[in-house]
């Protein structure tokens, strides 16, 4: 019999301990094993995330099968999130496929459109007869996990999510998790310093909404800001760009050093290990080790 707590409980446990769960994006089995190995090195729970593009590549049902089969085989708290999902239809697809949680991302929509669609996703999640968490976003922080040279168009570091809007949004949608704009940006800057997080705003939003908060755009954030943000009420932290950079750099280095290697499980192993190091390093911090 499995004694793995459901994701909602794992998040609650993290909050009670004053730590955060790490959420890492993958596109394939290289990312999958990198994340799993990194988390297992510390014996702590982990969330695997797949955005619409990432899950189209690995396979929507196939990634569910990978996570569930490993979770059952080794009795390990590994969870699967349908990251940044832009339509009700794709939220429904992920819920039907067996994801533990879904994110409806209406950050680019008006408050009203975002609210209405997030509510529809919550209603569907509640109707399926198993616990699926629904997260929503309010406040645009960019869309791409890539290396940045400037702040993405449409992102404002002055116009952060307000505690009042957050409270109303959460109350009217019934979402389980809330992702605000608090100085965080998707992607990682190449040459300019990462913007600082607004820790007071995180604390105010956690208080006004009364539900766990998720910090997106974690790549490049300083250790100091992560620690303060978790203390202020962040329960889940998302990292993607750092994983992508580690994957690509390790592969390039390996192939440069071994130009004749053609065996995928040999050259991809360097990327698995590089991803695992990033995951382990970030999880140590999020868990205050
Ligand atoms: O949902 C994914 C993330 O928010 C990742 O953001 O690429 O800046 O780490 P990042
Ligand atoms: Zn994100």
pLDDT digits (tens, 9 = 90+) for 25-48: 999 999 999 999 999 999 999 999
What is the enclosing helix (H) or strand (E) of 217? none
Is the CB–ligand 1 distance for residue 239 below 6 Å? Answer: yes
The stretch 201-226 carries a mean pLDDT of: 98
Mean pLDDT of the region 181-201: 96
DSSP secondary structure letter of residue 79 = E
Task: Supply the pLDDT for residue 173.
Answer: 98
Q: Which ligand is nearest to the CA of 194?
A: 1
Q: Which ligand is nearest to the CA of 221?
A: 1
Task: Please give the pLDDT value at position 2.
Answer: 75
pLDDT of residue 95: 99
Query: Does ligand 1 have an atom closer than 6 angstroms to the CB of 219?
Result: yes
pTM comes to 0.98
Q: 186 in ligand 1 pocket by Cβ < 6 Å?
A: yes
- CA distances (Å), origin 111, targets 169, 170, 223: 8, 12, 32
**How large is the average pLDDT for residues 76-89?**
98
Instruction: Evaluate if residue 3 carries a pLDDT over 90.
Output: no
Name the phi and psi angles at 221, rounded to 5: -65, 140
Could you tell which of 240, 246, 275 is best to mutate to test the pocket of ligand 1, judged by most ligand atoms within 8 Å of the CB? 240
Per-residue CA distances from 252 to 2, 16, 54, 157 (Å): 40, 42, 21, 35
- Ligand 1 atom nearest 215 alpha carbon: 4
Over 70: is that where the pLDDT of 1 sits? no
Domains of the chain in start order, with CATH, are 7-286 (3.20.20.70)
- How far, in Å, is the centroid of ligand 1 from the Cα of 217? 4
CA distance 229 to 24: 18
**How far is Cα 217 from Cα 150, in angstroms, rounded to an integer?**
15
Determine if residue 139 is left, alpha or beta; phi over 0 gives left, psi from -120 to 50 gives alpha, anything else beta.
Answer: left
Share of the chain above pLDDT 90, in %: 98
Distance CA 136, CA 102 (A): 9
145 ligand 1 Cβ < 6 A: yes
150-179 exposure pattern, b = at least 16 Cβ within 10 A, e = fewer: eeeeebeeeebbbbebbbbbbeebbbbbbb
Instruction: Note the pLDDT of residue 108.
Output: 97
Q: What is the pLDDT of residues 100-144, one digit of tens each?
A: 999 999 999 999 999 999 999 999 999 999 999 999 999 999 999
Mean residue pLDDT across the chain = 97
Answer whether 241 contacts ligand 1 (Cβ < 6 A): yes
Q: Taking a C-beta distance cutoff of 8 angstroms, is the pair 46, 34 a contact?
A: no
Atom number in ligand 1 closest to CA 144 = 7
Separation between Cα atoms, residue 95 and residue 23, nearest integer Å: 18
Residue 257 has pLDDT above 90, yes or no: yes
Task: Give the CA count within 13 Å in the CB-facing half-sphere of 146.
Answer: 8
CA distances for 98 relative to 60, 62, 79, angstroms: 9, 10, 11
**101 pocket-lining for ligand 1 (C-beta < 6 Å):** no
| 179 CA distance to ligand 2 middle (Å) | 9
Residue pair 228/183 in contact by the 8 Å Cβ criterion? no
Ligand 2 centroid–CA 85 distance in Å is 10
- Give me the pLDDT at residue 289, please: 87
Q: Is 221 in the pocket of ligand 1 (CB under 6 A)?
A: no
Rounded to a whole number of angstroms, the CA Rg of the chain reads 18
Give the ligand 1 atom nearest the CA of 244.
Answer: 7
Q: Which of 28, 56, 83, 165 is catalytic?
A: 83
Q: Is 83 assigned a catalytic role?
A: yes
Distance (Å) from CA 71 to ligand 1 centroid: 24
8 Å CB contact between 256 and 15 = no
* Cβ neighbours around 146 below 10 Å, total: 17
């Amino acid at each position: 019999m499995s004694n793995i707590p459901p994701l909602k409980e794992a998040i609650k446990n993290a909050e009670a301990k004053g730590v955060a769960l790490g959420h890492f994006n993958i596109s394939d089995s290289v990312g999958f094993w990198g994340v799993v190995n990194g988390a297992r090195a510390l014996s702590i729970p982990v969330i695997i995330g797949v955005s619409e593009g990432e899950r189209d590549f690995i396979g929507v049902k196939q990634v569910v099968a990978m996570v569930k089969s490993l979770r059952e085989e080794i009795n390990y708290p590994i969870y699967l999130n349908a990251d940044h999902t832009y339509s009700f239809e794709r939220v429904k697809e992920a819920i039907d496929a067996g994801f533990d949680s879904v994110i409806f991302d209406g950050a680019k929509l008006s408050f009203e459109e975002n609210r209405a669609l997030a509510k529809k996703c919550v209603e569907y999640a509640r109707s399926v007869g198993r616990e699926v968490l629904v997260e929503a976003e309010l406040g645009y922080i960019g869309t791409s996990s890539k290396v940045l040279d400037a702040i993405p168009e449409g992102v404002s570091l002055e116009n952060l999510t307000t505690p009042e809007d957050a409270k109303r949004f959460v109350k009217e949608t019934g979402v389980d998790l809330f992702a605000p704009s608090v100085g965080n940006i998707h992607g990682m800057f190449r040459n300019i310093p990462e913007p600082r997080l607004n820790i007071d705003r995180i604390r105010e939003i956690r208080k006004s909404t009364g539900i766990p908060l998720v910090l997106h755009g974690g790549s490049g954030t300083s250790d100091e800001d992560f620690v303060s943000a978790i203390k202020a009420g962040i329960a889940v932290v998302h990292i993607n760009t750092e994983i992508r950079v580690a994957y690509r750099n390790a592969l390039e280095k390996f192939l440069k050093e071994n130009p004749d290697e053609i065996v995928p499980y040999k050259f991809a192993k360097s990327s698995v290990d590089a991803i695992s190091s990033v995951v382990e390093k970030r999880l140590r911090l999020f868990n205050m080790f």
